[in-house]
Chain A
């Protein structure tokens, strides 16, 4: 019989069970937020996407906010504002 060895998993466990929000059935009349990482050209991408979302998908409003800089996370205050005011938030990297 083959000799076996029992090893322990080195992978950490997370307390967070769900990281993805459920999808929205429609964008009609919704408010979409963008968290801009401040890297070059993201502001152009936001402008283009905002126009497309409004003209082609019926989005009512687009909110554009920036992080302090690309290498830090969004502040709790910014996240709270976006959660309060937006139906959908897109974080992005123009690089």
Chain B
């Protein structure tokens, strides 16, 4: 980026020691509580150079503070989170996706539920920047995953203004609110990648945002068939205390299959669609049980579900098989994960552009 391009953010001069810088950022609630990389003009300009966008262009007003999500502010927060400039196009695409009205970022930011946006990156660009999809993919150790997810949280805090207990009213929150980004394990996916299933081209690189709880483990060391593994998955998917299923028009669930489980399922002849159909038909709970908790009584169900009289009828957690998203991530082992959504946000995908 040309040095003549004006940066609009206010500046502050601080003693140049890590202790003084972190103390200032923590005191002013400019950080997530962890040490930050100081966002100097030079570092911010390097970040901005990764993308051909006007720094003062706003992607929209970010709730709940309704502050302008300018490219410059995204770059400052990306620097603070420790991102390399090559990660910045992913962050911009992710913010564009989160500001899509379908994502309901206002609800995601302000709710008492512990929802955090999960970023799923797919395509060549994920490989280019070193996104990790193998062993421990939801955990620590990989800079791209760790800092891209952290940058999103910084943006939600500093641009959106969702401070815990003031703007972000999460009763308990969750560790995924520090950082929550993963890549799809495409080499071990027996079907088309998630982004292709969602309507994008194989050559596209994309970021998908999903308003998510943390991953709920599915342990199945026993099953040798698709039906066996998916029965375990559906058991984890279907819990009375889950948020999924109460506001049915927006409920979705994400099934993250470990590569070994995915291979076993594919050997049973299951397509991605078969996995979705199976889960749609088996991840169900009887009306008798649903009446006991969750958000029963203030739920938003379609008329046909509200009309059910038989207490033993088992009702779905989402309205269609397409609302169960399926992807593969992780390394060796007999584990998968169910990621419930918050019941009031739809997943959104955006192409990554430079």
Known contacts A71-B104, A72-B104; is-contact A3 B16 (Cβ 8 Å): yes
Closest to A42 in B: B298
Output the least CB separation between B248 and chain A (Å). Answer: 11
A55 and B282 CA atoms in complex are apart in Å by 55
Say yes or no for B297: interface residue by CB 8 A criterion: yes
Measured between beta carbons, the chain B residues less than 8 angstroms from A2 are 15-16
Measured between beta carbons, the chain B residues less than 8 angstroms from A71 are 104, 107, 111, 247, 342-344
Output the least CB separation between A84 and chain B (Å). Answer: 23
Say yes or no for B13: interface residue by CB 8 A criterion: yes
A8 and B309 CA atoms in complex are apart in Å by 60
A72 and B297 CA atoms in complex are apart in Å by 17
Contact A11–B158 (Cβ < 8 Å): yes
A72 and B273 CA atoms in complex are apart in Å by 31
Closest to B211 in A: A71
Measured between beta carbons, the chain A residues less than 8 angstroms from B65 are 12, 14
Query: In the complex, which of the residues B7, B16, B111 has the most CB atoms of chain A within 10 Å of its own CB atom?
Result: B16
Closest to B300 in A: A69
A40 and B65 CA atoms in complex are apart in Å by 26
Say yes or no for B234: interface residue by CB 8 A criterion: no
A10 and B11 CA atoms in complex are apart in Å by 10
Closest to B11 in A: A6
Contact B15–A6 (Cβ < 8 Å): no
A16 and B230 CA atoms in complex are apart in Å by 50
Output the least CB separation between A22 and chain B (Å). Answer: 20
Residue from A8, A12, A16 in contact with B44 in the complex, judged by beta carbons closer than 8 Å: A8
The 6 closest A-B pairs by CB, nearest first: A12-B67, A71-B344, A12-B159, A71-B107, A5-B16, A8-B9
Q: What band does the interface of chain A fall in when counting residues whose beta carbon is under 8 Å from B?
A: 20 to 34
* Dominant secondary structure of chain A at its interface with chain B: loop
Say yes or no for B112: interface residue by CB 8 A criterion: yes
Measured between beta carbons, the chain B residues less than 8 angstroms from A73 are 106
Measured between beta carbons, the chain B residues less than 8 angstroms from A7 are 11-12, 14, 21, 38-40
What is the 8 Å Cβ interface bit string for chain A, positions 13-37, against chain B (1 contact, 0 not)? 1111000000000000000000000
Q: What band does the interface of chain B fall in when counting residues whose beta carbon is under 8 Å from A?
A: 35 or more
Contact A10–B80 (Cβ < 8 Å): yes
Contact B14–A72 (Cβ < 8 Å): no
Contact A95–B300 (Cβ < 8 Å): no
Residue from B66, B70, B76, B298 in contact with A16 in the complex, judged by beta carbons closer than 8 Å: B66
A30-68: which residues lie under 8 A (CB-CB) from chain B? 38-40, 68
Residue from A4, A12, A13, A15 in contact with B13 in the complex, judged by beta carbons closer than 8 Å: A4
Say yes or no for B30: interface residue by CB 8 A criterion: yes
Query: In the complex, which of the residues A5, A12, A39 has the most CB atoms of chain B within 10 Å of its own CB atom?
Result: A12
Contact A6–B77 (Cβ < 8 Å): no
Contact B67–A6 (Cβ < 8 Å): no
Given contacts A9-B11, A11-B158, A72-B104, 13 further A-B contacts (CB under 8 A): A5-B16, A5-B38, A7-B11, A8-B10, A9-B10, A10-B76, A10-B154, A11-B159, A12-B65, A12-B159, A15-B68, A71-B107, A95-B112
What is the 8 Å Cβ interface bit string for chain A, positions 70-95, against chain B (1 contact, 0 not)? 11110000000000000000000001
Contact B12–A9 (Cβ < 8 Å): yes
Residue from B39, B67, B106, B343 in contact with A13 in the complex, judged by beta carbons closer than 8 Å: B67
Known contacts A5-B16, A6-B11; is-contact A12 B344 (Cβ 8 Å): no
